Amino acid sequence: MIITNVRKKSLAKNGFQFTRMKGSGEYTIVHLFDEASVFIEDKYVTTDKNAVFIYSPSSKQAVSCEYGDVYFEKITFSGDDAEALLQSYGLKCDKIYYPACVDEIHRLFDKADDEFFTPRRYAGNAVNVYFELLLLTLSRDINVEEPHEYDENTVKAFCEIRKNIFDKPHMDWTVDSMSATVNMNKAKFFEIYKKLFNISPIQDIISIRIKIAKTLLCTHRYSVAEVAEMTGYQNVFHFIRQIKKHTDITPKQFEKQN
Separation in Å, CA 117 to CA 106, 108, 191: 17, 14, 42
DSSP-assigned states of every residue in 35-74: --EEEETTEEEE--TTEEEEE-TT--EEEE--SS-EEEEE
Given phi > 0 = left and psi -120 to 50 = alpha, else beta, which region is 75?
beta
Instruction: Check residue 13 and give its pLDDT.
Output: 95
Instruction: Check residue 41 and give its pLDDT.
Output: 86
Mean per-residue pLDDT for 68-96? 92
Instruction: Check residue 53 and give its pLDDT.
Output: 96
Instruction: Check residue 79 and give its pLDDT.
Output: 85
Which of 92, 94, 104, 93 minimizes the C-alpha distance to 143? 92
Report the chain's mean pLDDT, rounded to a whole number. Answer: 91
pLDDT at residue 225 tops 90: yes
2-142 CATH, one of 1.20.950.20, 3.40.50.300, 2.60.40.420, 2.60.120.280: 2.60.120.280
pLDDT at residue 2 tops 70: yes
Cα atoms in the Cβ-side hemisphere of radius 13 Å centred on 237: 0
Q: Which residues of 96-122 are buried (b: 16+ CB within 10 A; e: fewer)?
A: bbebebbeebbebbebbbbbbeeeeee
**Domain spans of the chain, in order of start:** 2-142, 149-258
pLDDT at residue 28 tops 90: yes
pLDDT at residue 88 tops 90: no
What are 54-79's pLDDT values in tens digits? 999 999 999 999 999 999 999 999 98
Q: What is the value of pTM for the model shown?
A: 0.61
What are 113-156's pLDDT values in tens digits? 999 998 888 888 889 899 999 999 999 888 765 556 788 899 99
Q: Considering the chain, what percentage of its residues have pLDDT values greater than 90?
A: 74
pLDDT at residue 25 tops 70: yes
Instruction: Check residue 144 and give its pLDDT.
Output: 60
pLDDT at residue 38 tops 80: yes
Cβ atoms 192, 167 nearer than 8 A: no
- Band (1; pLDDT cuts 50, 70, 90): confident
Interior CA angle at 180 toward 176 and 182, to 5°? Answer: 130
Tell me the CATH class for 149-258.
mainly alpha
